[in-house]
Chain A
Amino acid sequence: MSTNPPIPLRPTTKPLSDALSKEEERLERQTDEGAQELRPTTREVVLAGGGMWPQDDLGDTMIINMGPQHPSTHGVLRLMMELDGEDVLRIKPVIGYLHTGMEKTGEELTYVQGTTNVTRMDYASNFANELVYSMAVEKLVGVEVPERATWIRMMMCELSRMASHLLFQATNGMDIGAVSMMLYGWREREEVLRIFEYVTGLRMNCNYIRPGGVAVDLPDGWQQRILDVCDLVVKGVSEYDELLSQNPIWRERTVGLGIITTEECLALSITGPILRSTGFAWDLRKAQPNLAYDQVEFDTIYTSNGDVYDRYRIRLYEILESVRIVRQCVEKMPAGDYRVQDKKITPPPRARIDESMEALIHHFKLFTEGFKVPAGETYVSVESPRGEIGCYMVSDGSSKPVRMHIRGPSFYNLQAIDPMGTDSLVADAVAIVSSIDPIMGEVDR
């Protein structure tokens, strides 16, 4: 009878070389939070030409998860940050906490129902989503939208840009600690949202721009109301300018912070105010004018420093440009139909359903199985407040898309956290995320 050797209480570890134990320590530290590995930052990749990250001292750093529940991560963004004291050594966004499968849902909804879905993606500027979806459908169907519908669309999109940038002013102010700014921004945004409610019946997810035109015509007396709101917003913007632009604390917190270059932006597909802040005047409204943007006068706002302050200024002045466009829309709004009169695409008026059998059938068919779209694929892009929003759509000839993909600008812009936020402070990281202005509904889709 042989006796087994006593089992050691704790398995003895192999003696590791110094380098290995360091590596092991690094892995252990990184998995400490149930975290994914922090990869080298984009700037390091860009600078080192894709090499390894520099071996640094792995002693006294701490990994902190900012979010998904955190007062200033704009919804459910999670930032993994490696901190050395207050210094952020590297920073990585983790997304997916708001993933609701909206693109997949889009494949189950008819083209008529689709706008209800996409309007919930970028909930701060929903008209851009509806517009890009509708334009993709119209391009596949090959239908021409009436002129009045185009102008209404443009006006609503610009009002939406105002609302979105006002929201940015509010949250950006709050993130940098100017709490009153939050209320001021919301005060003006509220007035714009009232216009949305007045025109579309809903404040946020309006589902107003639909394939073939817009849902309803503008209500009586809309001109005066919209002009009044424009005046209010201009007054508000001059107030923000006075409150923040020359404030020494504000400038100290934002000037020269979170700098990104044009090359980095282009490498990461970053568009919108972030790209324009680097001195690259790229605005799809000018570069590829859709709607009636070539018939109105406005300027592309761009600056050259690429810092948080510039992104704040660009958004501030873009509000004024939007006001300019909206005023021209009010002035030049053409008469005519607000949607195409093709009854295969847009529903008949409610009153006709009671008296016309044909109208009833059209209505029934449209809202049960929708309209058929010729097989094909297309990509349409417009300038949303956050950058280029695109819709890639594949149709197999049925009434539902085979694939509907939205290119959300926030998703791409969020990558800028990496080059902007490396080697900053915790407080700067908050300001930088805020200056990217991500909407998580659009990032996760």
Chain B
Amino acid sequence: MNHLLALDPLLRGSVTWSVLAVVLIKVVVAFVILLVAVMLYIWAMRKVIADMQNRIGPNRAGPYGVLQTLADGIKLFFKEQSIPDSADCPVFRLAPYLSIMPAFLMFCVVPIGGTVSILGHTTYLQVVDLPIGALFILAMSGLGVYGVMLAGWSSGSKYPLLGSVRASAQLLSYEAAFGLAILGVLIQAGTLSTHEIFLQQHWTNAWSFVTHWFWLKTCIAFGIFLIAALAETNHPPFDLVEAEQELVGGFNTEYTGIRFAIFFLAEFMNVITMSAIAVTLFLGGPSGPSLGFLSANNVINVWFLPMIWFLVKVLALLFATVWVRASLPRIRYDRLMSFGWKWLIEIAILWVLVTATVQVANVENWNSFVAAAVSVVVAVAAYGVLYAAMPKSDELIEEIR
């Protein structure tokens, strides 16, 4: 155990009370930040969508309705919680927590700032820097499926059952594309640690956001990541799991009170966490220009600016999610699956192969342009073969008949 913890630079050496205090502070602060962020995100989302739809949005609780989410939460907390007769009681009770835990845990590996010093200890501004950070992200996003799936299955009702069937299929399918998209970054970075990935995207000059950040080097993987992340978080236009117009409420139809609130919280927490991860992996995390007229060790440059850059990038992505939510119709279930399996995963695999080839070419001192061109040609050819082998949808229907 010690050696695992020791990998966090904070706990290298002896564990003292101050060390524990730092760990506790970081855990509590991350927890609170995430909860408050969810509260503000839901409020902001409602306001922005309201503006896009010529409405006013929440404006009663607090200034500009900013406390609306809190008010909703309090209301839901004191409401009666009903459990259907046919529900599988323990699983039904457990499911909301299975849904929210991974969302929290995933956020732990996200660096939200640089390296700072607290209570005389030098530490990263992230709860933990696992050497397997990227795998941890994948694992947690995989675990998130269970909450949704078990909730629908244990409700003992038909619409939730349909919702959970959709959930298990959709989330598992897009898990593959999601993982392959992350792999595109990992091959380039050569590490699984989120902090290392952040350091590799460090701001050195004004063009760092093109040369150092991974979004351009892995542009296709970045696009796939964004689409797959939307699908992973059940975000419109991929919100088939809880499609109101089709499945009433989907997997959470039978949930009331605080259990429903937890699902609601988990959903939006996932959106925030996914945006944070996208920023970490592709958009440089907290890196950004610092104020040159202050010394590099100044508290503003060390503490605040990285956080502000991180916040700005996350907010930009969150705004994009709200925009998508307000403007796109919902994709149909079968189209979603065929899009995931026939396009996203193939393109992601080919992209990983191309990236790997270029990476090897760099190591072996081949001409990287030739290597890239050849690998792209081979990839396109491979995809052509795959595409030719795939039955067209009409043929498929005929075959089934």
- Chain A interface residues (CB < 8 Å from chain B): 62, 64, 70-72, 83, 85-86, 173-180, 183-184, 187, 243-244, 247, 249-250, 252-253, 425-428, 430
Give 12 A-B contacts (CB < 8 Å), ordered by A residue: A72-B245, A86-B166, A177-B328, A177-B329, A178-B329, A180-B53, A184-B54, A253-B329, A426-B247, A427-B246, A427-B330, A430-B246
Q: Apart from A86-B333, A178-B327, A427-B332, what are 7 other A-B pairs with CB-CB below 8 Å?
A: A64-B162, A72-B246, A176-B245, A180-B49, A249-B329, A252-B332, A427-B246
Which 10 A-B pairs give the minimum distances between C-beta atoms? Answer: A177-B330, A183-B53, A72-B245, A178-B329, A177-B329, A176-B329, A249-B329, A175-B245, A427-B332, A180-B326
Min Cβ gap B159→A in Å is 8
**Contact segment of B8-16, B236-244, B370-378:** B236-244
Interchain CA distance A178-B239 in the complex, whole Å: 12
Q: How far is the CA of A175 from the CA of B247 in the complex (A)?
A: 11
Chain B residues close to A by CB (< 8 Å): 49, 52-55, 158-159, 162, 165-166, 236-237, 239-240, 243-248, 326-335
Bound-state CA distance A71–B333 (Å) is 19
| Distance in angstroms between the alpha carbons of A176 and B236 in the assembled complex | 12
Assuming the A-B contacts A85-B165, A253-B332, are A174 and B53 also in contact, with contact meaning beta carbons closer than 8 angstroms in the complex?
no
Chain B residues near A183: list those with CB within 8 A: 53-55
Residue in A173, A426, A430 whose Cβ sees the most chain B Cβ within 10 Å:
A426
Q: Which residues of A contact B237 (CB under 8 A)?
A: 177, 249
Least Cβ distance of A135 to chain B in Å? 38
Chain B: which residue is nearest A85 at the CB level?
Answer: B165
Residues of A within 8 A of B243 (CB): 177, 427
Contact: B162 with A86, CB < 8 Å?
yes
Name B244's closest neighbour in chain A (CB-CB).
Answer: A71
Question: With A72-B245, A175-B245, A426-B246 in contact, is A180–B332 under 8 Å at CB?
Answer: no
Give which listed residue, B52, B245, B333, B335, contacts A180 with CB less than 8 A: B52
Q: Which residue in chain B gives the minimum CB-CB distance to A434?
A: B245
Chain B residues, Cβ within 8 Å of A428 = 332
Whether B53 and A426, one on each chain, are in contact in the complex, defined by CB atoms closer than 8 angstroms, is: no
Q: Smallest CB-CB separation from B53: which chain A residue?
A: A183
Contacts of A173 in B (CB 8 A): 329
CA distance A363 to B259 in the complex (A): 63
Provide the residues of chain A in CB contact with B52, threshold 8 Å: 180
Q: Is the CB of A243 within 8 A of B327?
A: yes
**Are A184 and B236 touching (Cβ within 8 A)?**
no
Among A70, A85, A86, A180, contact of B327 (Cβ-Cβ < 8 Å): A180
The answer to whether B329 and A427 have CB atoms under 8 Å apart is no
Q: Is the interface of B mostly helix, strand, loop or mixed?
A: helix
CA distance A187 to B50 in the complex (A): 13
A32 CB to nearest B CB, Å: 11
Q: Which residue of A lies closest to B249 (CB)?
A: A71
When A71-B244, A86-B162, A427-B246 are in contact, do A179 and B326 touch as well, CB less than 8 Å?
yes
Contact between chains at B331 and A252 (CB < 8 Å): yes
Among residues of B, the one whose C-beta sits closest to the C-beta of A65 is B158
A233 CA to B334 CA, complexed, in Å: 36
Cβ-defined contact, B335 with A71, below 8 A: no
Report Cα–Cα, A183/B50, bound state, in Å.
9
Min CB–CB distance A420 → chain B (angstroms) = 16
Most chain A CB within 10 A, of B245, B329, B330, is at: B329
> Which residue on A lies nearest to B158, using beta carbons?
A64
**A426:B326 contact, CB within 8 angstroms:** no
Bound-state CA distance A183–B237 (Å) is 18
A263 to chain B, nearest CB (A): 24
Q: How far is the CA of A290 from the CA of B243 in the complex (A)?
A: 44
**Hey, which chain A residues are within 8 Å of B333, CB to CB?**
86, 425-427
What is the minimal beta-carbon distance from A185 to any residue of chain B, in angstroms? 11
Bound: A173/B53 CA distance, A: 13
Nearest residue (CB) in A for B54 is A187
Q: Which of B159, B247, B331 contacts A249 (CB 8 A)?
A: B331
Contacts of B330 in A (CB 8 A): 176-178, 249, 253, 427
Q: Does A177 lie within 8 Å of B245, measured CB to CB?
A: yes
**Across the interface, which residues of B come within 8 angstroms of A86, CB to CB?**
162, 165-166, 333-334
Which B residues touch A62, using CB under 8 A?
A: 158
- Please give, as numbers and ranges, the residues of chain B lying within 8 Å of A175 by CB-CB distance: 245
C-alpha spacing A244/B52, complex, angstroms: 16
Interface pair A174/B245, CB less than 8 Å apart = yes
Q: Complex formed: what's the CA distance from A66 to B177 in Å?
A: 34
A279 CB to nearest B CB, Å: 23
Q: Which residues of B contact A425 (CB under 8 A)?
A: 332-334
Cα-based distance from A122 to B335 in the complex (angstroms)? 36
Query: Least Cβ distance of B173 to chain A in Å?
Result: 14
B237 to chain A: closest residue by CB: A249
**Which chain A positions have C-beta within 8 A of B245?**
71-72, 174-177, 430
State the CA gap A72–B249 with chains docked (Å): 12
Instruction: Kindly report which residue of chain A lies nearest to residue B328, judged by CB atoms.
Output: A249
Distance A44 CA – B246 CA, assembled complex (angstroms): 25
Q: What are the residues of chain A within 8 A of B244 when measuring CB–CB?
A: 71-72
Instruction: Report how far A405 CA is from B239 CA in the complex, Å.
Output: 44
Cβ contact within 8 Å between B236 and A177: yes
Closest to A252 in B: B335
What chain B residues lie within 8 Å of A252 (beta carbons)? Answer: 331-332, 335
Tell me the bound Cα distance from A427 to B49 in angstroms: 24
For the complex, give the distance between the alpha carbons of A145 and B55 in Å. 43
A71 contacts B327, C-beta separation under 8 Å: no
A179 and B327 alpha carbons, distance in the complex (Å): 8
Q: Which residues of B contact A426 (CB under 8 A)?
A: 162, 246-247, 333
Which chain A positions have C-beta within 8 A of B246? 72, 426-427, 430
Residue in A closest to B240 when the chains form the complex, CB atoms: A427
- A258 to nearest B CB, angstroms? 13
Question: Whole-angstrom distance between the alpha carbons of A173 and B329 in the complex?
Answer: 8
CB-nearest residue of chain B to A62: B158
Q: How far does the alpha carbon of A252 sit from the alpha carbon of B330 in the complex, in Å?
A: 10
In Å, the complex CA distance between A176 and B49 comes to: 18
Cα-based distance from A250 to B330 in the complex (angstroms): 8
Cα separation A214 to B55 with both chains bound (whole Å): 36
Q: Give complex CA distance A170, B334 in Å.
A: 25
Measured CB to CB, the closest approach of chain A to B378, in angstroms, equals 30
Closest Cβ–Cβ distance, residue B127 to chain A (whole Å)? 36
Residues of B within 8 A of A244 (CB): 329
A228 to B199, CA, bound (A): 60
For B335, the chain A residues whose CB sits under 8 A away are: 252
With the chains together, A56 CA to B58 CA distance in Å? 52
